[in-house]
A and B are shown apart, each in its own frame.
Chain A
């Protein structure tokens, strides 16, 4: 019996859910039983989300979160250090990790001390080149389709079906197919030889009574956001040009995170630890002086522990 479980880790807006659908649809079109499912909180661009695809040659008797995947697709490498997303958790022995990064597999292995098979490709760059945007759903779906061994024809049909349900623009659809097929061919074929996961024993716990002072859903502490810096959510960072800025402070007022401050001369500056890269400030600047730069997460996330 064949049963493959693929887990996608992305950030809100990157297209992890659609990637899982591209893979699920491709498997379905190829005649397999398939199931796909996203899990995300309140909608927030940049927040970690996960999506799941199951592929089997028998009816699938599972639902929900995949805790022991055969393949993990990491669509944003900053997630590797996110202690809540934990993209590598539960990966089966012999499983495959794909990381969206310009690094080589060896560089990534060294930086994140990862065991197991690693495949890398800079999906964001390919996407910017072909589609001029950073939504890498079709590309990540294509990579996953290649890893699990689905055919090019199924992938192409799946991208067509899934993306045409979302966008009406045929040019965007064509470019999605082009980018997907490019990625499909750019990564090597792998042999997935995962062993069945050992079922972790879970014992039922009798929950004790705790008084409401402890058990009400309240936070008695302040400053808990330092545990969850949103700075590594960015794909682009806003950059200020003080030569052109007229100090109107509209960017300050419009930032939904409240992370733009004003210096002594009256110029705005940003707290990059918490700026999540929504680029609303860039959009709102009436003088059009705010620019954006592709983010390179070199050391920004180094203090967080690997999950």
Chain B
């Protein structure tokens, strides 16, 4: 199979095309728009047999996608940032309907202030909704994850919607070699969606998402969503094996990089993990036993895998490209929760970096390793720090002066 240069957005569109999706409600938002433009063009040219509808907002778009999914067709939609938040109410609703919708989110920092560049507060805001979440490092992974996503969530043991996430600009507009799989092989891996259980049909009236007044009814439905999501960890393993069999690429829930014998570990997600891996290589060259753990499946949270990967390490730095204002790094809390009962737990530190697409420079990675080594040696280290450089601060000083804020 040959490779071609594709952006993350084009790779996403290819994933949708190969999955032979039936219905795509859409609404444009930077940096996602290229996905739906590509799909619209293919449909107009007759290369794809899907129905494409431009909606009036993301709220309607997610509703339409979820409702279509509830009739038993394969649906897709995509959004980003403010758009995701505009449709937010429907995320919980669609998840509660237990429909296997696949949605791509192209991560972009939330306003205010307005930015177009990436961080993960948008997608992580949806982490408690019931949508599963896969976070991608490469354009290839975006395409592959969309195929895996349909297979995973259409499984009768799961039936929950899923978000496949990629970073705005850093993946969405970045071209790199991507192998576009052959349609026949995709069909082997992902057969047409034919739900066996009850779905809306004209011949069979039913009510979906009925009211559940009374806490014990509500608890049942809500907790079953949780159990379904947990079940997805098991199903994911099978999907992962099947995918590798068909396409030769392996994607676990987490990915270790030089991790096995590492003492000092970075925990990262998405495209900036590539920068982290380079930093690990440089640290190794300096004689530091560095490693990296990339979290790929964030919901369901693969707590056991993370535990196994990190217990026995000396010190771990979770780099959160997000900030829970008033608390700190979101993933730091999640990682801490699955390590706190381990006897051999590592020292755990939180670093906020890459907000609004801010670069994480080699110097900043070096700083992290220095801090981890200090901590292991017994020196005091701040539990939570921001990655920000002198030069960046000087630039802010200059801009504040221009803004009349001295």
A interface residue numbers (CB < 8 A to B): 41-42, 207-213, 215-222
Partner of B210, one of A207, A210, A212, A218: A218
Is B228 touching A215 in the complex (CB atoms < 8 A)?
yes
| Given known A-B contacts A41-B213, A42-B211, A211-B159, A216 and B220 have beta carbons under 8 A apart | no
Asked if residues A210 and B198 are in contact (CB atoms below 8 Å), the reply is: no
Determine whether the beta carbon of A215 is less than 8 Å from that of B221.
Answer: yes
Contact A212:B98 (CB < 8 A) given known A41-B213, A217-B210, A218-B206:
yes
Chain B, Cβ-Cβ closest to A41: B213
Please give, as numbers and ranges, the residues of chain B lying within 8 Å of A208 by CB-CB distance.
227
* Cβ B227 vs Cβ A209 within 8 A: yes
Interface SS of chain A: loop
Confirm or deny: B170 has a beta carbon within 8 angstroms of a beta carbon on chain A: no
B198 x A213 contact (CB < 8 A): yes
* Extra inter-chain contacts (20) besides given A212-B224, A215-B228, A217-B208, CB under 8 Å: A41-B213, A207-B220, A207-B223, A207-B227, A209-B224, A209-B227, A211-B159, A211-B197, A212-B156, A212-B159, A212-B228, A216-B221, A217-B96, A217-B97, A217-B209, A217-B212, A218-B206, A218-B207, A219-B206, A222-B205
B residues 198-236 near A (Cβ < 8 Å) are: 198, 205-213, 220-221, 223-224, 227-228, 230-231
- In the complex, which residues of chain A have a beta carbon less than 8 angstroms from the beta carbon of B197? 211-213
Among residues 146 to 189 in chain B, which have CB atoms less than 8 Å away from a CB atom of chain A? 156-160
The answer to whether A215 touches B207 (Cβ under 8 A) is no
Give how many A-B residue pairs fall within 8 Å (CB-CB): 66
Chain B 122-162 interface 0/1 with A at a Cβ cutoff of 8 Å (1 = within): 00000000000000000000000000000000001111100
Chain B, Cβ-Cβ closest to A215:
B224
A218-B205 in contact given A207-B227, A212-B228 (Cβ < 8 Å)? no
Q: Could you say which of B196, B206, B208, B220 contacts A215, with CB atoms under 8 Å apart? A: B220
- Whether A217 contacts B228 in the complex (CB less than 8 A), given A212-B98, A212-B156, A212-B197, comes out as no
Q: How far is the CA of A102 from the CA of B196 in the complex (A)?
A: 56
Q: Give, as a whole number of angstroms, the nearest-CB distance from A117 to chain B.
A: 30
List 28 contacting pairs A-B, 8 Å CB cutoff, sorted by A.
Answer: A41-B213, A42-B213, A207-B220, A208-B227, A209-B224, A209-B230, A210-B227, A211-B157, A211-B228, A212-B156, A212-B159, A212-B224, A212-B228, A213-B197, A215-B98, A215-B220, A216-B98, A216-B208, A217-B96, A217-B97, A217-B212, A218-B207, A218-B209, A218-B210, A219-B210, A220-B198, A221-B206, A222-B206
What's the least CB distance linking A176 to chain B, in Å? 31
With A and B bound together, what is the CA distance between A31 and B229 in angstroms? Answer: 52
Measured between C-beta atoms, what is the minimum distance from B70 to chain A in Å? Answer: 9
- Contact of A216 with B97 at beta-carbon distance under 8 Å, contacts A41-B213, A210-B224 already known: yes
Ranked 5 nearest A-B pairs via Cβ: A213-B197, A212-B159, A215-B224, A216-B98, A212-B98
On chain B, the residues within 8 Å of A210 by CB distance are: 224, 227
- Min Cβ gap B193→A in Å is 14
The distance from the CB of B17 to the nearest CB of chain A, in whole angstroms, is 27
The distance from the CB of B367 to the nearest CB of chain A, in whole angstroms, is 45
How far is A215 from B228 in the complex, measured between Cα atoms in Å? 9
